[in-house]
Amino acid sequence: MSKNISLVSLVFLIVGWISLGQSPSLLTLVLCLLAMISVLFLLYYPSIWTEEAFASISYKLKISSLIAGGVFLAASSSTPEFFTSFSGVVLHKVFAVGIGTVLWSALFNLCVIIGVCSLYKSPLTVNPRIYKRDMPFYGIAILTLILLSLDKTFTKIDFLILVSIYVIYIIFLSFDKSEPYKDETHDSWSLILGKMFAGIILIGVLSHLLVTLGLRMIVLSESLFDYIFPVTLLAALIFAPGTSISDLLMSISATKRGEDSVAIVNGVASNTFDLTICLGVPGLAYTMVTNESVSFNIVESGPILGALLIGYIVAFVFIYTQKKIFKWEGWILLIYFLIALLMQIGIVIF
């Protein structure tokens, strides 16, 4: 991304942030929307810093490629989702931001990341560990989330269960013996850690600004047009795709290097991280501090949970039956994501 785009994005963000204190008007609404889009552009650099830092750590510690993709790179690429969810759930106390961002990000990672990577290289070769270990854990995370949501509330025990799933997943990953991560680096430890902490801090600040601007846009929409813009739709159109771009770029890069399994496991493991840590940790923090459970709107968020389950089944069948992902299968995943998005728009509008 060019410096000019970054500078323009920063200007729009500052102007949009200043406009938050102004009286509701069409101009403030437009400035708010432009500021949100600017945040998505500005997230690019700190996301790259964080991913490069974790990739360098993986190389220096001689961590296997699948663990690097499944833990370090998945966690680093999901940092925007984590802080977006944390800001929505803990700071703004709007659980719909967290659940909406996490679910739509998970569907984006599953369908769009694997789909786009298959367009760069077809077929994508799948390491057996992905469908024997990573995909089953992802499926367990989805089913657990569905079961926990049936009573339309989430308690601290529910969130603790979600976090525990990822802890168990990491324990299983620790037994992996695949070849070491190949993305060589000559950076010093001080530079690596500096990039990592700077990236995480900036992502946290920008994610909070994104959520604040988004919720302000909902207030402006209601004030100007007497229409409450649904939080779930905002998550589907802005929060989730915007915060998942880094996942997509990293997986494309891995595909170009010939590391098909790293690209796929990043998409799968990122989803496991999203559903367990990105939702579980903020939810656990909120329920422990307030000693209150969190309500789940099954009318708005239920359909995307179902769409995520169906998408998982389709992807698992593609991966398991042929041990490869072909371009035509990638197109099916991409079209499925578009259909799910259009259905979500129809549900919340009509």
The vertex-75 CA angle with 73 and 76, nearest 5°, equals: 65
- Per the CB < 8 A criterion, the answer to whether 97 and 231 are in contact is yes
- More confident: 68 or 339: 339
Ranked by mean pLDDT, the top range of 138-142, 251-255, 294-298 is: 138-142
pLDDT band per the 50, 70, 90 thresholds, residue 232: confident
Please name the residues in contact with 53: beta carbons below 8 A apart, sequence gap of 6 or more. Answer: 76, 192, 193, 195, 196, 199
Average pLDDT over residues 142-163: 93
Please name the residues in contact with 88: beta carbons below 8 A apart, sequence gap of 6 or more. Answer: 94, 95, 96, 97, 98, 101, 211, 282
CATH number of 65-180+229-349: 1.20.1420.30
Which of 64-68, 97-101, 255-259 is predicted with the least confidence, judged by mean pLDDT? Answer: 64-68
- Per the CB < 8 A criterion, the answer to whether 24 and 229 are in contact is no
User: Is the pLDDT assigned to residue 158 strictly greater than 90?
Assistant: yes
Model confidence, pTM? 0.89
Residue extents of the structural domains in the chain: 65-180+229-349
Q: Which of 34, 4, 8, 40 is nearest to 19 (CA)?
A: 34
List beta partners, residue 82.
none
CA distance 277 to 266: 15
